[in-house]
Structure 1
Amino acid sequence: MRNAEEFDDFYAGSSRRVLGQVYAMVGNRAEAEDAVAEAYLRAWDRWSRVRECESPEGWVRRVAYRIAVSAWRKAANRLRAHRRDVTDDHVDPINPDHVALVQALRQISADQRRVVVLHHLVGLSVAEIAAEIGTSANTVKTWLARGRRALAEHLTSNEQYVMGGRGRDA
């Protein structure tokens, strides 16, 4: 029980000071509080080693700062990834051909759409598609042929839309 009392005394005597220091370093009180709480938890888990350090308080402060920085990096990376995704969506203007293809794909049967996408967009062979969807290669070939034919009809009927609304003679 001596360790618990010793740790409690250490915590009571240093936690407010460490919180103030970490807050000053990271600039956000909530983040500092979370980081300091986690650092003291880690100190408790390792108290037999931490209490032997030259400065247990310094150990906690260093760990709390690292936790805060790590949390900040994770948040910044998530934000960057989100911005990159959003930016990517806005950098590439919507291509009328892409819109027409998606619209045409929606108008063919689900089985045909699936094999057309797997073959032409994913790049799978007929045998690979058959294995993935659990059907025969001949069925895949039939769906591909019918899907291509249906797509051609839908794309031809939407030719004006495919040409960006200008028509063939624009």
Structure 2
Amino acid sequence: MGGPPPEPPGTTVPPPAELVFDDFYHAHFRGLVVQLTAYTGDRGQAQDLVQEAFCRAYTRWDRLARYEDPLAWVRRVAWNLAHNRWRRLRTAQAWLLRQRETHVAGPSPDRVAVDAALAQLPPKQRRAVVLHYLADLSIAEIAAQERVAEGTVKSWLHRGRAALATHLRDTNEEVRDV
């Protein structure tokens, strides 16, 4: 008599793996969207990329649930999807420029300046800056995810910060000159 009440007829109880996946999804979706938004500059696109990464994780959840850090797998898939989309967008933008069409930048001048500065960084430096400062990953965690030495990550961060500072300073000087 001390157990839980039986389920009413006709209802199904989801298997525990789905519950774990749901909890995992709800715990990490927003954080990954923030990271990918900073990387891509487009919140809607970031949401799509993260959703696709979680869909791929769901189909492999029985295996991924046993990983030491399944979030790292989902993050890597989302970043790979973003990088692939970034390459396709670059090709499309080059075609649009040849057609004399231009892309209108984001809404606020500060946002445009930061997005432009991030966009000028090489992908590895941009990824390191976003993961370290927006995702709050340690240098060791970034090194493990990117499969490089910690010194390499430190170098990417140093160079990325220096390039961002230079670009943002130059942008600020251009605004004052106008």
TM-score (norm 2): 0.44
Name the one with the larger helix percent.
1
Structure with larger Rg: 1
